[in-house]
Amino acid sequence: MRIFLIVLGFVLGCKTSSFGQSLMFKLCQTETDKEICQQKQLILFQSKVKADIFSSLGYSLTDSLFLEFVVNEQGEVSFGKTFALVSDEALSMARPAIRRMARQLKANENYAFFLNLSIDERFEKFTSIYKLKNAPVVRGAENFNSKAQLACFNYVLRGDEKWRSQVDDDFNVRCYLEKGKVVAVECEQISLNKSLVEKVSRSVNNGMAAEVSSEAWANLAPFYLEFKSSIKGDSTKRWEGSMRRLAHFKTLSQKKFYLEELYDFKDKFSRADPNKWNNFFLKHLNEAGYGEAREVSIWGKVYPMDSIRAYSYTEVEKEETDDVLNFSMVERVPVFAGCDSTLKNEELRACFQRGLLVYVSKSFVFPEQERMTGTGGKMYIGFVIGVKGEVENIEIVKGVNRSLDFESIRVVSELTRCSPALQRAKPCRMSFILPINAKIQGSAPKKKKKRRR
């Protein structure tokens, strides 16, 4: 779990605010030790604002806020510059919270208020949705196996996800769920779209309210689900989007976020030419002031600068450290039922894909309603083949409608176990995205009528 640890002056391009000072409380003006009084009151003020934000949102989240404001003699507040690292919604909730308590502050002063929001440590104990046992059975999945029922439960929680088309960016948002609602949200990778967190939490809550009864949550362990995405388009668009993100985080005075984005940037592009992208990484570290540093800390891990400077890619690095490897990356793909295990990897790859397509064409049963209306389309189903060759983590990447998507989930869930993928001769988990083009046999596209001249 990545928690933001922020210090004063963390977010703005400038090192400190030129606008004002920390909060000054009326109560402390007559105290003997004003400094201790100020510290105590500031902690109480921050706690109350934080509690009001979380109460208004309906969930806690990780974020960092900055607000400049003035309080007049009547206790009225006028805001100046404001900033949110993650959520503009959290920022909008902070304003009324500050107004409610403004009379505690000394009037006619220019204030600069920093607030770090974090989620409780108890959420670290929540399990992934993919490890849930006895997930609620949603409508349309009553006769499916347990893997498919879990995938369909995951499907309805995610709602229609129409918001994805409005957010073309890299992000990883984790929602923590308990007793039928979202109770916390954190960004493992921050999006530049500051309405994203609210859109995700609303989508999940709507999915739960529409599909899952309150009784179904009684015996369900608290869990989390993740929403991940990457910048879409060709290599040029992805490059431009990544550079835009890098430039944004570089403007923040707190280097932590820029270093994390720089590391993710290098990791994203380095597979084509590791040595080139390590030099890119080193160049930007030098520009960020780490040229003479002995080490740099990124994502809680310390990297000696000498090891970065002396880096040279070798074939030994083909052993991946990622939890799940892509189908195109593994040294040896799984051996699908009916494929010859003595084949070379490229031949096995082709056999795996061919075998999947044959299996789907034989197993897919068109839902009756879609058969009658002629509804069809192309779906993309993501799944993982585990170290024992079993199917895991089934998810609709892009769907058509509920009935067709559920049938695709059922088909994938019933795949027979195969031998697992291998990396450096060891079993590894491998991800795969399966396209299913569902259409009624014999149906042909309608011909366009020719216009008379």
Q: Do 347 and 302 reside in the same domain of the chain?
A: no
Question: What was the pLDDT predicted at 312?
Answer: 65
Q: Do 99 and 147 reside in the same domain of the chain?
A: no
Q: Do 433 and 329 reside in the same domain of the chain?
A: yes
| Half-sphere exposure in the Cβ direction for 234 (13 Å, CA) | 1
Please determine, for residue 358, whether its predicted confidence score (pLDDT) is greater than 60.
Answer: yes
Integer Rg of the chain from CA = 27
Residue 161 falls inside a structural domain: yes
pLDDT tier at 253, thresholds 50, 70, 90: confident
| Weakest-pLDDT range from 27-36, 91-100, 305-314, 378-387 | 305-314
Q: What percent of the chain stands above pLDDT 70?
A: 90
Domain end point (choices 281, 313, 345): 313
Domain end point (choices 118, 138, 161): 118
Residue 241 falls inside a structural domain: no
Q: What is the pLDDT of residues 16-27, one digit of tens each?
A: 444 457 899 999
Residue found by looking up tokens 């498919």 in the block: 148
Over residues 391-412, mean pLDDT: 94
Q: Do 301 and 350 reside in the same domain of the chain?
A: no
pLDDT tier at 4, thresholds 50, 70, 90: very low
Contact 91, 65 (CB under 8 A): yes
pLDDT tier at 448, thresholds 50, 70, 90: low
Question: What was the pLDDT predicted at 271?
Answer: 67
Please determine, for residue 9, whether its predicted confidence score (pLDDT) is greater than 80.
Answer: no
Over residues 143-161, mean pLDDT: 89
CATH of the domain at 363: 3.30.2420.10
Burial 238-247 (b: 16+ CB within 10 A, else e): beebbeebee
| Weakest-pLDDT range from 96-105, 226-235, 371-380, 429-438 | 226-235
Number of domains in the chain: 4
Q: What is the pLDDT of residues 163-196, one digit of tens each?
A: 777 788 889 999 999 988 999 999 988 999 999 9
Q: Do 90 and 191 reside in the same domain of the chain?
A: no
Q: Could you tell me whether strands 223-229 and 301-304 are parallel, antiparallel, or unpaired per DSSP bridges?
A: unpaired
Q: Do 308 and 338 reside in the same domain of the chain?
A: no
Residue 194 falls inside a structural domain: yes
Question: What was the pLDDT predicted at 13?
Answer: 41
Question: What was the pLDDT predicted at 272?
Answer: 63
Please determine, for residue 236, whether its predicted confidence score (pLDDT) is greater than 80.
Answer: yes
CA separation for the pair 228, 110 (Å, rounded): 40
Contact 384, 367 (CB under 8 A): no
Please determine, for residue 82, whether its predicted confidence score (pLDDT) is greater than 70.
Answer: yes
Q: Give Cα separations from 330 to 39, 41, 53, 351, 386 (angstroms).
A: 55, 57, 46, 15, 13
Q: Do 135 and 84 reside in the same domain of the chain?
A: no
Domain end point (choices 271, 292, 313): 313
Over residues 85-110, mean pLDDT: 94
Q: Could you tell me whether strands 110-117 and 391-398 are parallel, antiparallel, or unpaired per DSSP bridges?
A: unpaired
Residue 272, helix vs strand vs coil: coil
Residue 256 falls inside a structural domain: yes
Q: Do 211 and 285 reside in the same domain of the chain?
A: no
Residue 268's identity, in one-letter code, is K
Residue 381, helix vs strand vs coil: strand
Query: CA nearest 193: which of 258, 241, 155?
Result: 241
Task: Residue 139: give the domain boundaries.
Answer: 123-229
Contact 252, 258 (CB under 8 A): yes
Contact 409, 155 (CB under 8 A): yes
Please determine, for residue 14, whether its predicted confidence score (pLDDT) is greater than 50.
Answer: no
Query: CA nearest 86: which of 224, 206, 204, 188?
Result: 188
Q: Do 171 and 273 reside in the same domain of the chain?
A: no
Residue 445 falls inside a structural domain: no
Residue 218 falls inside a structural domain: yes
| Tokens representing residue 398 in the block | 């892009």
Q: Do 146 and 102 reside in the same domain of the chain?
A: no
Q: Do 56 and 151 reside in the same domain of the chain?
A: no
Q: Angle at Cα 28 formed by Cα 66 and Cα 20, nearest 5°?
A: 30
pLDDT tier at 363, thresholds 50, 70, 90: very high
Contact 394, 382 (CB under 8 A): yes
Q: What is the pLDDT of residues 289-348, one digit of tens each?
A: 888 888 888 878 888 888 888 876 554 444 444 478 888 888 999 999 889 988 999 999
Residue 234 falls inside a structural domain: no
Residue found by looking up tokens 């570089």 in the block: 250
- Diameter over CA atoms, the chain: 95
Residue 35, helix vs strand vs coil: helix
> Which residues does 109 contact at the CB level (< 8 Å), separation at least 6?
20, 21, 24, 70, 71
The mean of the pLDDT values for the chain is 85
Q: Could you tell me whether strands 77-84 and 63-71 are parallel, antiparallel, or unpaired per DSSP bridges?
A: antiparallel
Residue 12 falls inside a structural domain: no
Question: What was the pLDDT predicted at 167?
Answer: 80
Please determine, for residue 392, whether its predicted confidence score (pLDDT) is greater than 60.
Answer: yes
Phi, psi of 243 (to 5 degrees): -65, -35
Strand partners, 21: 111
> Which residues does 194 contact at the CB level (< 8 Å), separation at least 6?
84, 86, 87, 88
Contacts 24+ apart (CB under 8 A), 337-341: 337/416, 337/418, 341/419
Contact 324, 429 (CB under 8 A): yes
pLDDT tier at 69, thresholds 50, 70, 90: very high
| Weakest-pLDDT range from 40-54, 384-398, 429-443 | 429-443
Q: Do 333 and 432 reside in the same domain of the chain?
A: yes
